[in-house]
Chains A and B, each alone.
Chain A
Amino acid sequence: MQIHLSPSDGVPIYLQIVNQVRLQLAAGRLTEGDELPAIRTLAERLLINPNTVVRAYRELEALGIVEKRRTNGTFISAAGSPLALAEKRRLLAERADALLAEAHQMSFPLEELIVLIRERALETVEVAS
Chain B
Amino acid sequence: MIVEVENVTRQFGEKRALNRISLTIPKGTVLGLVGENGAGKTTLIKHLMGLLKPDQGTVRVFGKDPVVDPVGVLGQIGYLSEEDILPGWMRLHELIRYSRGFYPSWDADYAEALRRDFGIEKGARIRELSKGQRARAGLIVALAHRPELLLLDEPSSGLDPIVRRDILGAIIRTIADDGRTVLFSSHLLAEVEQVCDRVAMIRQGELLFCDDLESIQRSYGWITVRYPEVQPTPPLLEGAVSWNGDGREWSVLVHGLPGAVEAETTLRGAAIVDRRWATLDEIFVGLSTELVGR
Partner-contacting stretch, out of B132-140, B236-244, B272-280: B272-280
Task: Please count how many residues in chain A sit with their CB below 8 Å of the partner chain's CB atoms.
Answer: 19
Q: Is the C-beta of B169 less than 8 angstroms from some C-beta in chain A?
A: yes
0/1 string, A1-35, CB within 8 A of B gives 1: 00001011111111000000000000000000000
Beyond A47-B169, A49-B30, is A13–B176 a contact (Cβ under 8 Å)? no
Interface core residue of A43, A44, A50 (most chain B CB under 10 Å): A50
Closest to A50 in B: B176
Q: Is the C-beta of B112 less than 8 angstroms from some C-beta in chain A?
A: no
Tell me the dominant secondary structure on chain B's binding face. Answer: helix
A49 lies within 8 A of B277 (CB): no
Contact among A5, A9, A13, A43 with B276 in the assembled complex (CB-CB below 8 Å): A9
Q: Is the C-beta of A86 less than 8 angstroms from some C-beta in chain B?
A: no
Q: Is the C-beta of A79 less than 8 angstroms from some C-beta in chain B?
A: no
Q: Is the C-beta of B197 less than 8 angstroms from some C-beta in chain A?
A: yes
Q: Smallest distance from the beta carbon of A39 to chain B beta carbons, Å?
A: 8
Contact among B165, B276, B277 with A12 in the assembled complex (CB-CB below 8 Å): B277
B282 lies within 8 A of A10 (CB): yes
Task: Give A11 to B175 CA distance when docked, in angstroms.
Answer: 23
**A 36-84 contacts with B by CB, 8 A:** 40, 43-44, 46-51, 55
Closest to B216 in A: A12
Q: Is the C-beta of B159 less than 8 angstroms from some C-beta in chain A?
A: no
A48 lies within 8 A of B176 (CB): no
B276 lies within 8 A of A49 (CB): no
Beyond A7-B190, A44-B169, is A49–B175 a contact (Cβ under 8 Å)? yes
Interface core residue of A7, A10, A11, A55 (most chain B CB under 10 Å): A10
Task: Give A55 to B176 CA distance when docked, in angstroms.
Answer: 15
A49 lies within 8 A of B197 (CB): yes
Contact among A10, A43, A50 with B279 in the assembled complex (CB-CB below 8 Å): A10
A50 lies within 8 A of B276 (CB): no
Task: Give A83 to B64 CA distance when docked, in angstroms.
Answer: 53
The 7 lowest CB-CB distance pairs between A and B, nearest first, are: A10-B277, A7-B190, A10-B279, A47-B168, A40-B176, A50-B176, A10-B278
